[in-house]
Structure 1
Amino acid sequence: MELHDLWFVLIAVLWTGYFFLEGFDFGIGILTRALARDEKERRVLINTIGPVWDGNEVWLLTAGGATFAAFPEWYATLFSGFYLPLLLILVCLIVRGVAFEYRAKRDGERWKRNWETAIFWTSLLPAFLWGVAFANIVRGVPIDADKEFTGGVLDLLNPYALLGGVVTLTLFTFHGALFAALKTLGDIRERARRAAGVLGLVTAAVAVLFLGWTQVLTGSGTSAVAVAVAVAALLGALAANRAGREGWAFALSGATVAAAVASLFLALFPDVMPSTTDPAWSLTVTNASSSAYTLELMSWVALVFTPLVVGYQAWTYWVFRKRIGTQHIPEPVRH
């Protein structure tokens, strides 16, 4: 395997890890509106991701940094062409982080309600926009002979991309509902399981349509296998949730996310950004990559530091593995 092929695979793994972890993270933020019935239950949901949400975002930084270093032409074309949606995602992630930290700084009901509203919207919008962005990467965008994006924002709002946004939104919310069922106690746990049952069916319907459309557009035999795995894992997650096996249900929903992302990267390869203007102008793993020396140096760095980062994050999840409920939320101190 050539080094540029290896780094394409590694970048796909990084994006898969990000969507697996940040996916349920976004889902919890969205469900603070639909699942929680009062301020204490909203706090329970937020506390399920409180120790890990910022660590989950490290995968995004690593994926972006790896893309910049390994495929600078891809990075330049992607971030210039998708400037507005990616800027909106970045602003949402910044506001979302501030909302998590500032929400508990004051006891006022209006103060908390405003930050909770911010958490909801800054979870929902990125969950939708990431799907739009990746659907456009797979479908292709207008790129000229100089490897520059020649379209506009409206080119990104095509039916296929919008459907991709709906898929990531519903899938992440489903993933979040199963995480909530796994991490909570009492009534909120039961409501999370019921919500996951409904969300899973909706996700299955739109995901089958989107992944089937992807296969027609640019699919391959290997991407078809990944699609089949994604569908099987989603059905398995629904069955496990119905049986009350929250751990298996969450693991299988994570497998659904991983297989769906893998199917997109497999359908994309060897391109990294197809050109709808002229296929000859598409960015590929060959013409968009860095030098062999750069890729070799990056490979040694990744070999040393990746196990350390993954090990530390796994330890964090193990430390904060226990369920929480409203009984663990102290009553506010009245002065």
Structure 2
Amino acid sequence: MELTTVWFVLIALLWTGYLVLEGFDFGVGMLLLPLSRDADKAVTQTDRRLMINTIGPVWDGNEVWLLVAGGATFAAFPEWYATLFSGFYLALLLILLALIVRGVAFEYRGKIDDPRWRARWDLAITVGSWVPALLWGVAFGNIVAGVPIDADHHFTGTLWTLLNPYALLAGLTTVTLFLLHGAVFLALKTDGPMRERAGRAAAGIAPVTLVVAAAFAVWTQLAHGKTWTWAAVVVAALGLVGTVAATRQRREGLAFLLTTVVIVAAVVLLFGSLFPDVMPSTTDPAFSLTTENASSTPYTLKVMTWVAVVLTPFVLAYQGWTYWVFRQRLTSTHVEGTTGLAPLARR
């Protein structure tokens, strides 16, 4: 296998890790406001702190996958990186701003013991989760479907070019899938009333996700897929059907495993449909960026491969250890008397 193909697969794996791990982070953030209300629709700060602390030890580590995926794309396929970031500049800037605001909100919401102060940062967490969840889907939809690229590999479209029906359906798919992934994660990581509330939310979101994701997967396969990517469509469909059943039975562990499988299958479908292109051109197929004409030199790819082989096991081991340490369920008793993430982390 050529190193260009190896690095295409490795970048797909990095995006898989990011979407699986950051996917439930986004889901928890999107559900922060609706699930932190009691039976009388009153806001409960304890529940909000509980939800945030389920992802508190891991959210920033999950974002490392995005940094590595971006860095790997820059180093392995600089032409792809340049065209992607210049053409999708505004959308990627919005994602970056949302992630920055979201990260600041996690750290600052508990600095002042004032309900209005916390409410503003909670809103920032919610918006900072919805925006990337939507725009990542829109971006991947456009990458797979293709965008106008000229002979010099310059993007010649506008922002409105990116807001086409297929890409918007892709964005809606990532939103619903991350909502489901996050609700299942909350049910898995909490106990008591929050576990019950998250379980009901997951059971309600699952059928909607099934319909939306099925429509997107079939459209992708028929318009851009290859014969072998039907396997990814079937796996995703079975995973979603299983998730609907698992959420109704409140089997959180199985449901989380199945939503993870669905996200993995979705990445396989997208990258499998894309290969050997990395960015198809709708202007002329001859102008498309491929794994060959967008890659770095063979020497660069060889050095990168050795670095990845040596360092990746350490990174995976450390992150796995983090999840193991913080594997226990949380209840309201873990956060009572605290005002944010930092006090619980210290305790």
- How does the TM-score come out when normalised to structure 2? 0.95
TM-superposed CA distance for 1:329, in Å, is 1.5
1:200 is aligned to 206
- Name the CA shift for 1:32/1:292 in 2 (closer, same or farther; >3 Å): same
* Structure 2 match to 1:47: 53
2:150 maps to which of 121, 137, 144? 144
Once residues 338 and 222 of structure 2 are traced to their aligned partners in structure 1, the CA distance between those partners, rounded to angstroms, is 56
Q: Which runs of 5+ in 2 are unaligned?
A: 38-43, 340-347
Matched to 1:5, the amino acid is T
CA distance in 1, matches of 2:335, 2:299: 54
Letter in 2 for 1:6: V
The answer to whether residue 245 in structure 2 is matched with residue 239 in structure 1 is yes
* Deviation at residue 236 of structure 1 after TM alignment: 1.6
Q: Distance in 2 between matches of 1:192 and 1:244?
A: 10
CA distances 1:52-72 after superposition (whole Å, capped 9, x unpaired): 000000000000000000000
Contact 2:78/2:296 (8 A) holds in 1: yes
Q: Which amino acid aligns with 1:24?
A: F
Q: Which position in structure 1 is the counterpart of 2:9?
A: 9
Counterpart amino acid of 1:223?
A: T
Q: TM-score, normalised by structure 1?
A: 0.98
Which residue pairs with 2:287 in the alignment? 281
1:113-153, CA deviations, whole angstroms, 9 ceiling, x for partnerless residues?
A: 00000000000010000000000000000000001101110
Which residue identity is paired with 1:56? N
What secondary structure is seen at the aligned counterpart in 1 of 2:152? coil
- Within the alignment, does 1:300 sit opposite 2:306 as a pair? yes
The 8 Å contact of residues 206 and 247 in structure 2, kept in 1 or not, is answered as: no
Is 2:283 the partner of 1:270? no
Match of 1:255 among 244, 261, 264: 261
**Residue from 224, 228, 238 that aligns with 2:234:** 228
What letter corresponds to residue 169 of structure 1 in structure 2?
V
**Match of 2:18?**
18
CA contact (8 A) 2:50 2:335 kept: yes
Question: How big is the shift at 1:332?
Answer: 5.4
3-state SS of paired residue (1:288): coil
Task: Say whether residues 1:212 and 2:234 are aligned partners.
Answer: no
User: Is the aligned partner of 1:79 residue 2:89?
Assistant: no
Q: Aligned partners of 1:326, 1:301: CA distance in 2, in Å?
A: 44
TM-align CA RMSD: 0.9
Distance in 2, matches of 1:47 and 1:292, equals 45
Does the residue aligned with 2:278 lie in a helix, a strand or coil? strand
Instruction: State the Cα distance separating 1:227 from its structure 2 match.
Output: 1.2
Cα deviation for residue 112 of structure 1 reads 0.2
Could you tell me which runs of 5 or more consecutive residues in structure 1 were left unpaired when the two chains were aligned: none
Secondary structure of the residue aligned to 2:149 is: coil
Matches of 1:248 and 1:310 in 2, distance apart? 23
Q: Distance in 1 between matches of 2:73 and 2:145?
A: 19
Aligned to 2:110, the other structure's residue is in SS state helix
**Which amino acid in 2 is paired with 1:219?**
G
Deviation larger for 133-142 or 207-216: 207-216
**1:66 alignment partner in structure 2:** 72
Q: Greater CA deviation, 221-230 or 20-29?
A: 221-230
Matched-pair contact (CA < 8 Å) for 2:46–2:336: no
| Alpha-carbon offset, residue 331 of structure 1 | 2.5
Aligned residues: 333
